[in-house]
Structure 1
């Protein structure tokens, strides 16, 4: 997964990666030359007192160092640009894929997990890409080139490398293999912590209303403690790495000095050569350590890549058609033809053989007990889900055959839980029609019975709205959501229990004001209150996912016991008549 993901999204940055390879090669070769030059200064200049040799070789060392520094800076910059571009593209791909998901996929992954995958998981792979761009060329060249240069200085001492390097490599591999499962657990526990935190922040009012602060604090402590324990375990393993590497490096240096000192005493080795050999030894061990560190980061990046690929490889259950239909004329006639729907994994369908027509210029109301399938039925019109049996047709065309933009252009949805975006009143109202004028916005607010409170807000249309609309009341959120749909002027209005937070008087005024505006559109209203829908042109009564009554208020009172029972539970005999 990791290789496939990085290959796919780093392809546009192949030019930068080639530049990294070239620059890293030049810089690494320059760094390998420096210890030999230093040995030459010591053995040819210092030992003989040859100042010209010292100045000449020192000048070369400065030039080589300058080349190394310039190449390193340019290589890191090119690698960083490639890694940041990679991260940007992966995040954009993830976001685009999530936008295409239906409610089924969104519920399957969960919002906290999707946020973690688009932030933390992408960052883990970015870090690996940066390290790879920095070390992928330098580490192998340093290891191979260092051994070659060490052999030039003294073949006998080079035998020590055959013992030291495998020991260090084996330790690093053992450490990496032990950490791979820990990284997988860590990412899962980050998901859990984000989920708990998100629930507690969004549900803070409920938490306080039921005085459950202590319980929620305990839940957070459990999630936080599990993540801390896993992270601490990872930290312990990381803490072992550098001291162990330094220990091996220092023991190796002592061994080289010990054996090298004996060879100097016997006249087989010069001091400068021993100094150069030690420098090459350190370079080789550092390269082994950095290469191992990349392997150290790879397991966590691999887990992150797997989680990201899981999202990118998931196809939406509501897939757009290959050739989407864009009808030239739209009346807004909605037909439910033998509709059925079953949730994934459910034993029984939620909806059974739903068949009725919502005509333009008429109001169709849907009522029933909790769990009857009212919201599910409404969600099938804009394809938040796709029907598992039968079809929903708008103007005679199956919604599954519509071009998605053309379908949504015909629909104005006011969901059961109204949601406002951070911004202003105006930016929220223009969400479905960006070019709407201020006059159109005020007209929609007037119809939605929201004009008065918006005018009282500081700034009016420019008044600030917090994320989710938390700085306005539930009733105000509902009215602003209704106004947002009215601004769009669709051919089909879908109101999913959108008047529940309104008082009876405001509800009545709003429904009266809606009539003239929606007289050419199909209006489908899901409601719990009989008073909201009693004047509808057509009332659909649902029970256990089946239609048990269709007609107007007075007809259903006599012909549908379920409807009569609902009316009796809400209205007096005088009100029901």
Structure 2
């Protein structure tokens, strides 16, 4: 874990080394000041030597100034190193997430990934800064102060040693108890983020069903769980302060009492006593800082493990050693394909699929909910790999292609259409970043999107809100179709992507696609038979299998499922989830 995280310090190694060096120099300078203070009292004040007082005073000012400078530099480089480390971690995690296949993404929930990129990285950033600064400063301060104290008077300094050992044992038990709760707290942030994300993304549904109170209670519950865990941990940590105060004041009383008696018999000077009292505070405060560092590091341990899980996750889809960079045509072939989302599933999602589709054909895919229509087309762009069998595009197994090349030639308009914040033109150019304005207009004309775009005051420069919230469902679908067309793909897949447009517009889109891009293989998934009846052939899916594959006319004659649904839809009711004969 440490090796994985340390690999991302990268260009901030220099700052990470300079920070502890400056902190050590600052501590050494600070530790010299009490000795000079003792000299002022013993050799200056008591002897009335003003010259000595001035000279030592100037030295103290210079040491304090140098200590301030090194402290500032330590803080500057520490902030740069920790912030840079956090930046590198976020970039590395985000870049690795981009390489994930769908099966990799399925292992992590979206709220969990957001928590890991934000809260968990912030915890690591804070812990790293504390390690560079406090973890260097506290031990070095403790050791220097202890050495100085023993050099002044070993008998009195032994009081510190006993106090440090006793306080250290107590702080260890406090940390051990507290960190157990902190480890439980951070995974709870996933639940909190999930509650917030669901509420924000589904705010229209929440308001439509007047469920604000219910959502508020859900958030209170998630937030309350974190609150309860932190309260338990903080209650334990509250013992830190009284323990420190008891130890500090006990040491001061003992040193003052024993030291005063030693001064009387000339075994100790007044200046030395003052120095020992100063070192007392340094030693015990160093121990307090160390305890907080250990608590912070232990708190961040759970975050570090969660971050490493994302960094170490590798995509289960890889390019072959010698990939093919050209898709010859849009022909498709399935050879005895079986597929499951989970390897332990008893029943495959796709079972023994055998299909052959010629380049340029328009193929309809129809079937009930859960019949694996979307799973079938996911195989073409290699979003998942088959368990057995082969999927061929352009006469070659999809596993032989460079994945970027394959996915650029297989354009998919998914069921859930996604637009990004930006202008319409910027969204369209996701299909081809170098597309000219005229190419964008042509794609919009084919998708029948030009009709509403040109009615907008700003036309193609109209700003799209996040998720496309300021356009209708049908408009969003047409923009997504236009975006896919700009890729100039060999294969175009429309996954129920005209469900929100009216029948007339649906017909226009199908006609335009058939006439304008005849060489592109078109796969249209739909629930309405009217959307696919003009296709060259139609695949009827049922329970993960191909029930039939033929023309509309032949299916009406020979396929009972297709015929029943067609007749029920012609009467204005029924679909593949509710067979016509059962109404």
Q: TM-score range, shorter-chain basis?
A: over 0.9
- CA distance in structure 2 between the partners assigned to 1:518 and 1:14 by the alignment: 55
2:62 corresponds to 1:63: yes
Using the TM superposition, name which of 170-179 and 526-535 deviates more: 170-179
* Aligned counterpart, 1:522: 521
Q: Post-superposition shift, 1:354?
A: 1.0
Are 2:143 and 1:157 equivalent residues in the alignment? no
- 8 A contact 1:5–1:305 mirrored in 2: no
1:171 aligns with 2:170: yes
CA distance in 1, matches of 2:254, 2:90: 50
Residue 535 (structure 1) aligns with: 534
The one-character-per-residue Cα deviations of 1:491-510 (angstroms, maximum 9, x if unpaired) are 11011111111111111111
Shift of 1:206: 2.3
Is the aligned partner of 1:184 residue 2:219? no
Aligned to 1:546: 545
- Structure 2: which 5+ residue stretches go unaligned? 576-583
Q: Deviations over 1:8-52 (max 9, x none)?
A: 222543322232233222222111111101111111111111110
CA distance in 2, matches of 1:64, 1:116: 45
Q: Distance in 1 between matches of 2:280 and 2:448?
A: 80
Are the equivalent residues in 1 in contact too, given 2:536–2:551 (CA < 8 A)? yes
| Aligned position for 1:377 | 376
- The corresponding residue for 2:330 is 332
CA contact (8 A) 2:179 2:299 kept: yes
Q: Distance in 1 between matches of 2:538 and 2:476?
A: 26
What does the per-residue CA deviation read over 1:350-369, in whole Å, with 9 as the maximum and x for residues that have no partner?
Answer: 11111112322111111111
Match of 1:459 in 2: 458
Deviations 1:545-565 (A, max 9, x none): 111111110011112112112
Quote the Cα distance in structure 1 between the aligned partners of 2:399 and 2:537: 26
TM-score under structure 1 length normalisation: 0.96
> Which whole-Å CA distance do the structure 2 matches of 1:199 and 1:105 have between them?
22
Report deviation, 1:293.
1.1
1:401 equivalent to 2:427? Answer no
Question: Which residue number in structure 2 is paired with residue 193 of structure 1?
Answer: 192
Give the Cα–Cα distance (whole angstroms) in 2 for the partners of residues 516 and 241 of structure 1. 78
Query: Structure 2: how far apart are the matches of 1:179 and 1:391?
Result: 55
Which of 340, 343, 346 is the matching residue for 1:342? 340
Matched-pair contact (CA < 8 Å) for 2:179–2:233 = no
Aligned to 1:227: 226
Identify which range, 191-200 or 357-366, moves more after superposition. 357-366
Q: Deviations over 1:127-172 (max 9, x none)?
A: 1111111123322221111111001221110110122101221222
Give 1:414's aligned residue.
Answer: 413
Provide the C-alpha distance between the structure 2 equivalents of 1:226 and 1:103, rounded to a whole number of angstroms. Answer: 31
List per-residue Cα deviations over 1:281-339 (Å, max 9, x = no partner).
Answer: 11111111112211010112110010011112222232333443212x53122222211
Q: Distance in 2 between matches of 1:11 and 1:173?
A: 33
Partner residue, 1:135 = 134
Partner of 2:431: 432
Whether contact under 8 Å (1:538, 1:550) holds in the other structure is: yes
Deviation string, structure 1 residues 228-266 (Cα, Å, up to 9, x no partner): 212222332333323432332233222222221222222
In 1, are the aligned partners of 2:20 and 2:133 still within 8 Å (CA)? Answer: no
Deviates more, 1:301-310 or 1:226-235: 226-235
- For the structure 1 residues 213 and 22, does the alpha-carbon distance in structure 2 shift closer, same or farther, using more than 3 Å as the test? closer
Report SS of the residue matched to 2:454.
helix
Q: Distance in 2 between matches of 1:385 and 1:148?
A: 64
The separation in 1 between residues aligned to 2:171 and 2:396, in whole angstroms, is: 63
Q: Which 4+ residue blocks in structure 1 deviate beyond 6 angstroms?
A: none
Q: Cα distance, 1:442 vs. partner? A: 1.6
CA contact (8 A) 1:358 1:523 kept: no
5+ unaligned residues in a row in structure 1: which ranges?
A: none
8 Å contact kept, 2:5–2:308: no
Partner of 2:203: 204
Stretch deviating more after TM superposition (414-423 or 355-364) = 355-364
Separation (CA, whole Å) in 2 of partners of 1:558 and 1:181: 69
1:111 aligns with 2:97: no
Task: Give the corresponding residue for 1:42.
Answer: 41
Alignment partner, residue 254 of structure 1: 253
- Residue in structure 2 matched with residue 450 of structure 1 by the alignment: 449
The answer as to whether partners of 1:338 and 1:353 remain within 8 angstroms in 2 is: yes
Deviation at 1:224, TM superposition (A): 1.6
Q: Aligned to 1:261, what secondary structure does the other structure show?
A: helix
Output the CA distance in 2 between the equivalents of 1:7 and 1:450.
50
SS at match of 1:499: coil
Q: CA–CA distance in 1 between the matches of 2:398 and 2:389?
A: 11
Q: Deviation at 1:385?
A: 1.6
Deviations 1:389-409 (A, max 9, x none): 212211122222221211122
What is the TM-score with the length of structure 2 in the denominator? 0.95
CA contact (8 A) 1:358 1:524 kept: no
The answer to whether the Cα contact below 8 Å between 1:414 and 1:498 also exists between their aligned partners in 2 is: yes
Aligned to 1:297: 296
SS of the residue aligned with 1:109? coil
C-alpha distance in 2, partners of 1:461/1:238? 59
For the residues of structure 2 that align with 1:262 and 1:456, how far apart are their CA atoms? Answer: 96
Equivalenced residue count is 572
8 A contact 2:178–2:234 mirrored in 1:
no
Give the match for residue 357 of structure 1: 356
Shift of 1:572: 4.3
Match of 2:217 in 1: 218
Q: CA RMSD in A?
A: 1.7
For the residue of structure 1 that corresponds to 2:107, the secondary structure is: helix
- 2:20 counterpart SS class: helix
- C-alpha distance in structure 1 between counterparts of 2:417 and 2:217, whole Å: 31
CA distance change for structure 1 residues 248 and 358 in 2, over 3 Å: closer, same or farther?
farther
